[in-house]
Copies of this chain bind each other. A is one copy, B any other.
Amino acid sequence: MAVKIYDTTLRDGTQGEGISFSVDDKLKIAGRLVQMGFHWVEGGWPGSNPKDMEFFQRAREQEWARSHLTAFSSTCRVGQRPETDVIIQALLEAGTYWVTVFGKSWDLHVTEALNTTLDENLRIIRETIAYLVQQGRQVIFDAEHFFDGYKANPDYARAVLAAARDGGASWLVLCDTNGGSLPWEVQEITRQIGQEFALPLGIHCHNDGELAVANSLAAVQGGATMVQGTINGFGERCGNANLCSILPNLTFKMAAETIPREQLAHLTELSRYVSELANLHHPNNLPFVGKSAFAHKGGIHVSAILKNPGTYEHLNPELVGNERRVLVSELSGASNIVYKAEELGLDLDNISAEARAILQEIKELEHQGFQFEGAEGTLELMLRRAFENYQYPFNLVAFRVINEKREGERFHSEAVIKLQVGDEIIHTAAEGNGPVNALDRCLRKALEGVYPAIREMQLSDYKVRVLNEKAGTEANVRVLIETTDGHDSWNTVGVSENIIEASWQALVDSLAYGLLKRKKTSGPQE
């Protein structure tokens, strides 16, 4: 059995509360999904906003665009023709080979929401698809509210699918838009439709009943061969069907062919990467990919696990790129550190007491919210401090940041920094449009004279995450900074209960790492 995977993180996923991606983020995610073998990536709705249009303009130049990229749209509007409807013209302008068109398949929606006749709804579906096919597009038809529609008026729901088929759609996708269907209903209705229509079927579920994964699997049992969903189940209300759970269930539990098995070993990484770009916390209890998904508390479990992992694990965590964690010892990060140190060619056999202290510091930082994936620059600096006695190129003597606002005046931020570089003391000041920007400008101003290479380095990304949110403004804050010199980019991190201090740490590391990198590649020259 082969099941194709259709990702709509970048379109339906962004309907979730608090989820939005920049165009750059969307391009990065799309590239990664395609690389992992996802069959379709739905990039957005070009007719609905300029950001999505920009995405398609940039994405269609990718070599994978023709085979994997799809653009989403409604049909043409009631009373209009697709040839002249701006929505459909915007869809064509997006320039994708695949397009996904949704239409209403619940009679109630046609009369109550769309305010038109049942026949007119069939016409706009049929004519829109026919026109798009005529324009050389492959059309996937999303039958919105299909299961509710089928339960209310099965003949009309069938007529909608027939209109899409007659228009020339390649796929019929049955949508549980309100997310309230039960697995056995989904399975049985999918089975019936499969008997009546010769086209391949897809399934699109929402999680309002906490059944989106089960409903998607049930549809596959009923004959669907495409599953739509999102990474981490992002999506409106309670979310869309979570592909991070559907993929391993299909592949390892139901023996279906989905994306290549070796790519599934990157699933955990993908899941965390997408949360990171969305700037959302990655819940520990996420099935398969969460930090606690294979965590074992002490006692009976642990000794059994040591004898035979199958006793308390439903799946080998390595298959999805996750790892076993034993909560009593909190040993999880150590192997990452060892791996990284080995990668840097550091001598692990000869760990001094000082190195051990720094490793301990790394583990504590990790416990506070440090993340290796996002901040290799800082990690490398720490490891080199531990193993090679690395020294920062400058030392802080003092700094001060002042933020001021007076009635009717603009907000004002100013930073004053005093540094020691070698024997020299540098004392300078700068303004900025915020405290961190003032600090960044001031630090550069202080160091540019001694290290001209800093002029080539630019901050390219700045992210803030409150770690233990319930603590309010007393919480720990993590600042992630990406810096680029035009060729390469690197990431550094700072963690503190004070956002200015966390930003300072990340800023200092970003410049220090940039200088270290330069020294490594060009050899000693100072």
**Contact yes or no, A464 B465, CB < 8 A:** yes
Total A residues in contact with B, Cβ cutoff 8 Å = 125
**A497, CB-defined interface residue at 8 Å:** yes
**Contact yes or no, A473 B113, CB < 8 A:** no
Q: Can you list, as one digit per residue, whether each of A24-66 has a CB less than 8 Å from chain B (1) or not (0)? A: 1000000000000000000000001100000000000000000
Offer 24 A-B interface pairs, CB within 8 angstroms, sorted by A.
Answer: A177-B312, A178-B313, A180-B253, A183-B218, A209-B288, A211-B213, A211-B214, A213-B214, A236-B295, A238-B290, A279-B470, A398-B405, A399-B405, A401-B404, A402-B402, A405-B501, A411-B501, A413-B500, A432-B473, A434-B496, A435-B500, A458-B472, A472-B481, A499-B499
Bound Cα distance from A149 to B234, whole angstroms: 35
Bound Cα distance from A112 to B305, whole angstroms: 10
- Write the chain B residue with the least CB distance to A499: B434
Q: Can you list, as one digit per residue, whether each of A266-310 has a CB less than 8 Å from chain B (1) or not (0)? A: 000000000000010101111110101111111010011001101
**Contact yes or no, B22 A500, CB < 8 A:** no
**Contact yes or no, A242 B413, CB < 8 A:** no
Q: Give the shortest distance, in Å, between A312 (CB) and chain B (any CB).
A: 6
Say yes or no: A239-B285 contact (C-beta < 8 A), given A432-B473, A498-B435.
Answer: yes
Q: Give the shortest distance, in Å, between A400 (CB) and chain B (any CB).
A: 5
**A461, CB-defined interface residue at 8 Å:** yes
**Contact yes or no, B435 A374, CB < 8 A:** no
**A389, CB-defined interface residue at 8 Å:** no
Q: Give the shortest distance, in Å, between A324 (CB) and chain B (any CB).
A: 11
**Contact yes or no, B112 A304, CB < 8 A:** yes
Pick the 6 closest A-B CB pairs, nearest first: A180-B314, A214-B214, A459-B472, A113-B304, A210-B245, A434-B498
Binds B, one of A12-20, A339-347, A517-525: A12-20
- Write the chain B residue with the least CB distance to A109: B311
- Write the chain B residue with the least CB distance to A23: B470
Bound Cα distance from A236 to B433, whole angstroms: 36
Q: Give the shortest distance, in Å, between A258 (CB) and chain B (any CB).
A: 15
Q: Which residues of B contact A437 (CB under 8 A)?
A: 472-474, 497
**Contact yes or no, A371 B22, CB < 8 A:** no
Which residues of A are interface residues toward B (Cβ below 8 A)?
A: 15-18, 22, 24, 48-49, 108-109, 112-113, 148, 177-180, 182-184, 207-211, 213-215, 217-218, 221, 233, 236-239, 242, 245, 248-249, 253-254, 279, 281, 283-288, 290, 292-298, 300, 303-304, 307-308, 310-315, 327, 330-331, 371, 373-374, 395-407, 411, 413, 432-437, 439-440, 458-466, 468-475, 477, 481, 496-501, 503-504
Q: Which residues of B contact A374 (CB under 8 A)?
A: 17-18
Say yes or no: A435-B209 contact (C-beta < 8 A), given A217-B182, A461-B469, A461-B470.
Answer: no
**Contact yes or no, B470 A281, CB < 8 A:** yes
Q: Give the shortest distance, in Å, between A178 (CB) and chain B (any CB).
A: 4
**Contact yes or no, B209 A213, CB < 8 A:** yes
With a 10 A CB-CB cut-off, give which of A288, A300, A500 has the most chain B CB atoms: A500
**Contact yes or no, B15 A331, CB < 8 A:** yes
Say yes or no: A314-B473 contact (C-beta < 8 A), given A293-B237, A435-B499.
Answer: no
- Write the chain B residue with the least CB distance to A74: B300
Say yes or no: A499-B464 contact (C-beta < 8 A), given A178-B313, A249-B209, A434-B473.
Answer: yes
**Contact yes or no, A254 B182, CB < 8 A:** yes
Q: Which residues of B contact A312 (CB under 8 A)?
A: 177-178
Q: Give the shortest distance, in Å, between A230 (CB) and chain B (any CB).
A: 12
